[in-house]
Amino acid sequence: MTTTVHHRPLKAFLNRVSALDGRLAEGLSKLLPDWWDDSLNQSPSISQQVILGLAKFANLDLSTVMNPTEQLRFNESIRRYKHAANKSVEELQAATAVVDGMAKIAATVAKNQYRGLPTAGEVRQEILAQDRPWVDFQSLLEFSWSRGIPVLYMPEIPARKKMDAVAIKVSERPVIALTKKHKHASAMLFSLAHELGHIACGHLEDNSLLIDEKINEDDVDNPQEHEANVYAIELLNGRPDAAFHSNGWIRADVLASEALRIARQNQVDPGHVALNYAKTMSRTHPGNYFAVCGSALNILYPQLTWMDQASRTFLEYVDEEKTSEDKFEMLCRMNNIEV
């Protein structure tokens, strides 16, 4: 008697991915095309099409993907990056693979050509000249996209370990990925300005990735990190040495009020003022200044609409016809964008 065994190639592939990183396998399982149905497991050709798409998304070496007896490996190209801390590169491989894959799609669908970046002061003046009260996350996001620099927000990267942010050069186009989850846009403002600093200061080579595992505004030991920090501070504040402080502890409502007063006076994002204050005070005074800062941010921004604004900006500056439907769908899913 002959027994017919129906193999499930997609499940087998995801099991192999799980050996690399369980979170990555879980994430890939959520990125299946809308048309996928479990009954399609019976079709080797369709299963292989889906597997190859997921493998390219995760930057897996296709020669290992096609050989079921071989251990999966990431493409060697994703190892060409710098990182801010001494954490093992291997721990960030899965997150780096996802970011690199999404950056390549974003670089393809971006409408505007990359036009280079001017000095921090010039970026600031260009944004303020548009009748903006200060440089906030949304205005800097729009500026980046308008200059041909896609900015991705992917806090749910399917990987065990992830970084704060990444600057990537796909051929000659820079792409920025912000990967740390935040409630308020102001908390991502410095990170975006910092990554723009890396780009403007020429820290990226073509087809390379610069991983900021953790952005440290006080880093003076790493010349490139310090240079990117100086660029960011000047872009946001109009001077490279801004530090806000008080003589002692203040309540959240007072901090919110004072941050808004300083913001209007100096054309600086009030959320950035509050966060800068918390960091400055924490260096020299005892107390949890970040907790009072968080409460102040809730007062300053009672309605969380920034993610919807960021999604609209993304859709305004991309052309989905420049890539396949499946790839664009993946990019949108990873950025929590509904199309």
Same domain, yes or no, for 150 and 38? no
> What sign results for the dihedral spanned by CA atoms 322, 326, 331, 333?
positive
SS3 296: helix
CB 256 within 8 A of CB 302: no
CB atoms within 10 A of CB 143: 22
The one-letter amino acid at 140: L
5 vs 132, more confident: 132
Judge residue 270's burial from the number of C-beta atoms within 10 Å of its C-beta, 0-12 exposed, 13-18 middle, 19 or more buried: buried
Q: Quote the DSSP letter at residue 40.
A: G
Structural domain contains residue 337? no
Predicted pLDDT at 237: 94
If you average pLDDT over residues 160-185, what whole number do you get? 92
pLDDT digits (tens, 9 = 90+) for 285-298: 777 889 999 999 99
Q: Which of 51, 73, 95 is the last residue of a domain?
A: 73
Structural domain contains residue 309? no
CB atoms within 10 A of CB 86: 7
Structural domain contains residue 17? yes
Structural domain contains residue 336? no
Structural domain contains residue 322? no
Q: How many domains would you assign to the chain? A: 3
Same domain, yes or no, for 56 and 96? no
Structural domain contains residue 1? no
Same domain, yes or no, for 205 and 255? no
Same domain, yes or no, for 93 and 178? yes
* CA dihedral of 170, 176, 181, 184, whole degrees rounded to 10: -160
Q: Which domain holds residue 53?
A: 9-73
Same domain, yes or no, for 248 and 153? no
If you average pLDDT over residues 141-166, what whole number do you get? 92
pTM: 0.86
> Do strands 165-170 and 81-83 pair parallel, antiparallel, or not at all (unpaired)?
unpaired
Q: Which of 45, 73, 101 is the last residue of a domain?
A: 73
pLDDT at 2 over 70: no
Same domain, yes or no, for 218 and 252? no
Same domain, yes or no, for 105 and 180? yes
Name the strands in the sheet holding 209-212, side by side, starting at the edge strand that comes first in the sequence: 81-83, 209-212, 165-170, 173-178, 151-153
If you average pLDDT over residues 227-248, what whole number do you get? 87
pLDDT digits (tens, 9 = 90+) for 78-132: 555 555 444 556 778 888 888 988 999 999 999 999 999 999 999 999 999 999 9
Judge residue 123's burial from the number of C-beta atoms within 10 Å of its C-beta, 0-12 exposed, 13-18 middle, 19 or more buried: buried
Same domain, yes or no, for 180 and 256? no
Same domain, yes or no, for 107 and 225? yes
